[in-house]
Structure 1
């Protein structure tokens, strides 16, 4: 495997671009290829076998494109499929899990909220992590039903989304949380709206930077970090490329964004 091969990233749609941004910022020389499986979004409501099948499909496509490492930029796919992927392929995989640990270690009210998909909250891997760090804390878990679909439609700032969030967050506010953990890579795009709803003392945590640092660490340890400026970042979606493009940093013309059946 050449160190000039790309970092492959996939998600159940456009949300994992929040993870891509952190990786691109930390590793600007790396060539990145992003797959948005928006046709099958959200993964969070699907059975585990289906999530594994879709994760294998995405992995195979990224391997065809020459990926040297694969970032599973989807909490649901990580918690349900990453063990299968790691046992089936020799390429390294980086996963993403809700950042419960920092919230549990720093909470002063001993009450933390986790907003995630059903697929993440009901997975065995999440249960194991949650049990480990939530012994002394009250953990309010809420399924963000309908949120991924709104973001996939390009409606992240719509009044309807704010209304949905107010309803979803109410049990957390009633419990006096001081940390909100975002357990879905789509949800960082809701942070401006979340800040309107949550009291100022509530800290919002997502996993993007931790994933970027782990990606760098693994590439470094394998001698796969590139030292030359690479090609333009590439983004592929099996749905509307414009929705994906609108989530990328300006100027967007510097990225390749295309429709691809996969």
Structure 2
């Protein structure tokens, strides 16, 4: 049975989550909605972020008859889930930093979290650390620049290893053995980050865990809107995107790539 799955992010970082979901659940139809007009989310005021996400996600979820919504953005997930769940009668899954598995994996009990400034300062993030990594020394590193570098890479532009090394300088100067990639954009730079930090640091993200959670919820959810939905993927965005980014989406198998209309409707 094919289901309609809505994946949302501020930019293309959520593709790292969507890719893991497609590997595990290839039979479903995916709708990828990204709010390029307000990127990066890590610097937005909290209420502005919540209101904007709800205004985008709810009408789109209703229009495509989504069976489940995945908020593939750590910054948004720390804030918008209660508001969305209050307005949607379908499961809403958020992404949280992989603090728990990092604490379990670390031998030195010295781990790091690399995320956007918004995620780093959220009370929710600090609750995760207190609950699952109380036996670890956890260092926090915030960066919005890495989000934009990931976006540029996806648009076909080269990544400056020198710039990356400068941004990751504070991480390199520590003795952590596990680094949590707490932004869905960052796995897109996994190889480049690994080359800067070396083999002594294990990089963790939440992609596979989110895919398994979606699989579990869809198995439990018997309220499918349309059992005849065709498999595949469509992308919708706000703002503007480059031709290089469009080509990336095409290469990833998206059937349609369309801009969200001014009144928040999808041309589907």
- When normalised by structure 2's length, the TM-score is 0.87
In the TM superposition, residue 67 of structure 1 has moved relative to its aligned partner by 1.0
For 2:135, the equivalent position in structure 1 comes to: 136
User: Which portions of structure 1, spanning 4 or more consecutive aligned residues, are displaced by more than 6 angstroms?
Assistant: 225-229
User: Helix, strand or coil for the counterpart of 1:67?
Assistant: coil
- Counterpart CA distance in 2 for 1:222 and 1:43 is 30
Task: Return the offset for 1:123.
Answer: 1.3
Q: 2: distance between equivalents of 1:145 and 1:164?
A: 13
| Bigger mean CA offset, 20-29 vs 57-66 | 57-66
Equivalent residues in 2 for 1:1-150 (5 A)?
4-60=2-58, 61-150=60-149
Deviates more, 1:120-129 or 1:223-232: 223-232
- Count of residues paired in the alignment: 258
TM-superposed deviation, 1:234:
0.5
CA distance in 2, matches of 1:118, 1:189: 18
Contact 1:114 1:183 in 2 (8 A): yes
- Give the secondary structure class of the aligned counterpart of 1:115: strand
**Deviations 1:61-95 (Å, cap 9, x if unpaired)?**
22222111100011011001112222333221010
Provide the C-alpha distance between the structure 2 equivalents of 1:116 and 1:164, rounded to a whole number of angstroms.
17
- The Cα shift of 1:114 comes to 0.9
Match of 2:179 in 1: 180
Alpha-carbon distance in 2 for matches of 1:187, 1:163: 17
Note closer, same or farther for the CA distance 1:148–1:84 as it changes in structure 2 (3 Å cut): same
2:168 counterpart SS class:
helix
Q: Which residue of the partner structure matches residue 257 of structure 1?
A: 257
> What is the deviation of 1:12?
0.5
Closer/same/farther in 2, CA of residues 206 and 170 from structure 1, 3 Å limit: same
> Cα distance, 1:148 vs. partner?
1.5
TM-score by length of 1: 0.89
Q: State how 1:135-214 maps to structure 2 within 5 Å.
A: 135-153=134-152, 154=154, 158-160=158-160, 162-214=161-213
User: How far apart are residue 224 of structure 1 and its match?
Assistant: 5.4
Q: Which runs of 5+ in 1 are unaligned?
A: none
Query: For 1:36-69, what per-residue CA distance to the aligned partner results, in whole angstroms no more than 9, with x for missing partners?
Result: 1111111100111011012102222222221111
CA distance in 2, matches of 1:201, 1:227: 47
Does residue 236 of structure 1 match 2:248?
no
Q: Is the 8 A contact 1:31 1:233 kept in 2?
A: yes
Q: Tell me how large the CA RMSD over aligned residues is.
A: 2.3
- The 3-state SS of whatever aligns with 1:63 is helix
Describe the shift of the 1:134–1:247 C-alpha distance in structure 2 as closer, same or farther (beyond 3 A): farther
TM superposition shift of 1:147 = 1.7
